[in-house]
Structure 1
Amino acid sequence: MAPNHGLVHLKEYDIKDSNVELIGSDLDHKVKYASAATEPAWNDGHVGLVPGIFVWRIENFAVVPVPKQAYGQFYDGDSYIVLHSQQIKKKKTDPAEETENEPPKLSHTIHFLLGAHTSQDEAGTAAYKTVELDEFLHGAATQHRELQARPSPGFLSLFPRVTFRRGGVASGFRHVPQDEEKDEEEILTLLRVFRNPSTSPGAGADAVIVYEVPAMWTSLDENDVFIVEQGASAGGKIWVWQGKKCSPMEKARAAQVVHDMKLAKRVDVEVVSQAEARSRVVVRMLGGGEEDGFGSLTAERPLVGSRPSSSASSSGGGAAGSRKLFKLSDESGRLEFGLVKENEVVLRGDLDGDDVFVLDDAGRTIWVWEGQGASKAEKATWLRVAQAYVRRLQGEQENGDAYLTPVAKVREGSESTAFLRVIGVA
């Protein structure tokens, strides 16, 4: 019996919905602070104390560390939390003021990644635990909501290679740990290897994506490299299919992926180019007929580029250069959310430390800036307001992808470099 038969599927999380309605309330902060103090994942003697990358996966509401050798490998049925702690460069000071054994000062960025088929429980736990981790780090972390369909360049830059495979802890999809044998010997796996699709320069621009796609010949694209892994009954061979327009870098990166797979599985590898007649073997292996695959082969890449599509630009998602700044304030006695600036340069002086601001950076990222003097109500409402704004953008689009817009939050005094670049400070 196939491994997904007879299993009960948890309700899949609709990425367009809000799953964090209670985040930010005064009670929520108290509960999280108390919970964080006893959360084993945060209290390992390293989190918040030493620089580095830490990755956890949500398993049955628990935060479970991912082995370091599996960093960068994700399953589409799961949700993850990734912490990146960096040492802050010290300013030149009087040597007499320096003390030995002083712990390094760190800046923190938290990414919670929602797989394309993660469950509501997992998505909610990842979001909730992310805020708890921020509490553990004394509220100094920048928080990023990451979606599998559009991971941010900053997230991709954390790993030399990012892999998205089918499967998950609580889903009915196939999930085979590396140290276990496959239940189905005839499983045929197709991996697509390509560079980061982001058109934005900077972090993550050279990241390599390895993405499992449907094992069909129509998944092939002449611009990329594909890896076909045959099941044990077919000899366990690995095939590399190079599209005729793929780049030398994609060939090189695919070779690295295959090298690692070969070492782990001890199987034979054969490389074929689309231009070779031999490449027809791969097309037939993936279900194609004798007449299939002779013309141009194109298949949409599984990741959406980080810049908004034309539909998003025309519907309020923002075109390049058009930004919108909103203020969330209860100064009048009730919470109000209003537009402050549109199609203008946003400056640091536009941000009042007594309020919360939402900056739509031309559809690239929705930034939430929380002033140190913001009220409890403002702090409790920021994420609901940000997600409501994203839903409004989605409603203005027809078959658009505004719901994929990254959402990030920073606090006054602990702003990330990426945010400071947006407002022209860094």
Structure 2
Amino acid sequence: MSVTPKQVQEYWNWHQSMGRDSCLEKAPQSLGLQVWRVVKMKLVPVPKGEFGTFFTGDAYLVLHRGDEERSHVHIWHGEKASTDEKGASALFATQLDDSLGGRPVQHREVQGNESELFMSYFPHGIKYQEGGVDSGFHKVAAGHTSVRRLYHVQGRKIVRARQVGLNWESFNTGDCFILDLGETIYQWCGTSSNLYERQKSAQFAGSIRDLERKGRAQVVIVRDGEEPPEMIEVLGAKPLLKEGTPQDDAQADQTHSKTAELSKVSDATGSMLLTPISSKSPFARALLQSDDCFVLDNGVCGKVYVWKGRGANVKERRAALKVAEDVIARRNYAPNTQIEIIPEGLETAFFKQFFSGWN
């Protein structure tokens, strides 16, 4: 699989012609949340009073910088945004990443399938505004209210976390679950869950608290049968739960080993080639070499990761988003498949779970 030389040349011609947007010059100097809207191929700052409102016909750039080195750059695409606006937002994200020394974790967000990290920036929720740059304000469409996510942690040799429906029907007594409510993260483990699931669920909960909430969240361990009122309020009255078995964990191990593929990105031939490395996880951590970029394709579960080694060349690092989008298109994944671009050294627990020997 590859991005053709013509595509690469067109990408870089456009990148050079766009120039550097003046809005990005001061961005690295400011902490907190900054939001820009793509208007006629230029970036326009969004007033703080309008944070959380997104036009369905536009593309946006969102930067969140904390007190530490970790920063996150999000590209947000409305369902009716034009191809040019989407392309411009990707190039502006590349410029912003360059101005921050290539350190931010980059994300592509699509209307209706935003990541929990993106949603956490807007405590009052987000709303979708119909129209775009040229159409003015119209009727407000239904959006999101707050961070409310449920993860199912299952397996024995290959333990993975995946997002599931926010209801008791997703639970069983043989596995662990993480209920993320923003300021409080509940770690719930069934009475028959195994040690590996309990250890992994603790790692995932801690990762959400430390990396996504910058430590400003509380992890609460909940025993089966001792659910607090907050959980009942979100999930409803607790029914008799399904029982989990060791056979379920064995089946999960088998499934997990086939849901991801690791490939190496290279521009040695003038085009961005994607060379498969392994299609059976967990992968050896040593496969990730600092001189290269790699694609971890978990698209069947809704996400494609790009890992950028510190020593990877500039073209490979800057083309990361283009390569991930090419994977989604060629493999016919859903258009709203999430993309996460991770610099070496800033890996999350959700990325590390695909590798062995990486706690």
**TM bracket, shorter-chain basis:** 0.5 to 0.7
1:355-414 CA distances to partner (integer Å, 9 max, x unpaired)?
2210023623211112233345544654333222111221xxxxxx52221112123345
Q: 1:24 to 1:130 in 2, by over 3 A?
A: farther
TM-score, normalised relative to structure 1? 0.52
* 2:346 equivalent to 1:366: no
Question: Which of the residues 82, 89, 106 maps onto 1:126?
Answer: 89
Give the TM-score of the pair, scaled to structure 2.
Answer: 0.60
SS in 1 for 2:23: coil
Deviation, structure 1 residue 144:
0.8
Select the structure that is richer in helix: 2
Structure 2, unaligned runs of 5 or more: 1-5, 152-162, 164-176, 184-231, 236-253
Would you say the 8 A contact 1:327–1:339 is kept in 2? yes
Cross-structure match for 2:323: 385
Aligned residue number for residue 52 of structure 2: 72
Q: Is the 8 A contact 1:326 1:357 kept in 2?
A: yes
Query: Which residue, out of 206, 227, 251, partners 2:181?
Result: 206
> Is the CA contact (8 Å cut-off) linking 1:76 and 1:164 kept in structure 2?
no
Query: 2:60 touches 2:75 (CA, 8 Å); kept in 1?
Result: yes
- Is 1:153–1:203's contact at 8 Å kept on the other side of the alignment? no
Shift of the 87–203 alpha-carbon distance from structure 1 to 2, 3 Å rule, reads farther
| 1:105-128 CA-partner distances (Å, limit 9, x unpaired) | x22110010011122232222111
Equivalent residue in structure 2 for 1:144, among 83, 92, 107:
107
Contact 2:55 2:129 in 1 (8 A): yes
Q: 1:391 to 1:415 in 2, by over 3 A?
A: same
- When residues 167 and 392 of structure 1 are mapped into structure 2, their CA distance, relative to the original with a 3 A threshold, is same
Deviation at 1:350, TM superposition (A): 1.4
**CA-based RMSD:** 3.9
1:113 maps to what in 2?
Answer: 76
Which of 324, 329, 337 is matched with 2:266 structurally?
329
In proportion to residue count, which structure has more strand?
2
Match of 1:229 in 2: none
2:341 aligned with 1:404: no
CA distance in 2, matches of 1:204, 1:80: 29
Structure 1 equivalent of residue 38 of structure 2: 58
Matches within 5 A, 1:3-402: 21-22=7-8, 35-36=19-20, 39-44=21-26, 47-88=27-68, 106-170=69-133, 172=135, 175-176=137-138, 191=142, 198-200=149-151, 205-206=180-181, 322-329=259-266, 336-361=273-298, 363-375=301-313, 378-379=316-317, 381-394=319-332, 402=334
CA distance in 1: counterparts of 2:39 and 2:305, whole angstroms? 29
Deviations 1:244-282 (A, max 9, x none): xxx8569xxxxxxxxxxxxxxxxxxxxxxxxxxxxxxxx
1:15-45 CA-to-partner distances (Å, cap 9, x unmatched) read xxxxx9559977777777xx44xx332233x
